Amino acid sequence: METIPIAKRIAEKGIENIDLSMFSEDDRKVIYEKAADILLRVGKIDESFIALEKAGKLPVEELKKRAETKMQFGQYKEAYYLLMKTGQIEMADFVKTNFL
């Protein structure tokens, strides 16, 4: 199956706007992984992380770095969600208690 056109469509329309339920779990993972590559190339970094998460390949270390950057720029809500996603519950609670 040719997955690149579907991955391109995801990049164009947005990851939450495409229904891939008709594909097998393995096919969905491949499609989301290719979509993540495309999204990274076009600068949609946050969406690429969502695609990677759906592909089962969440880059935890990269998300931790992004959470730190978000905190430095005062983007505490985004940092909180990234910290929760990476399992840094204590730090996420600290951000929530002190900045949200």
Average pLDDT across the chain, whole number: 90
DSSP three-state, residue 17? helix
Where do the H-state alpha helices sit in the chain?
A: 4-13, 25-41, 45-54, 60-72, 76-85, 89-99
Are 27 and 1 in contact by the 8 Å Cβ rule? The answer is: yes
Residue whose structure tokens are 């290719």: 34
| pLDDT tens digits, 66-100 | 899 999 999 999 899 889 988 999 999 999 999 99
Are 18 and 43 in contact by the 8 Å Cβ rule? The answer is: no
| pLDDT tens digits, 83-92 | 998 899 999 9
| pLDDT tens digits, 24-47 | 999 999 999 999 989 988 888 888
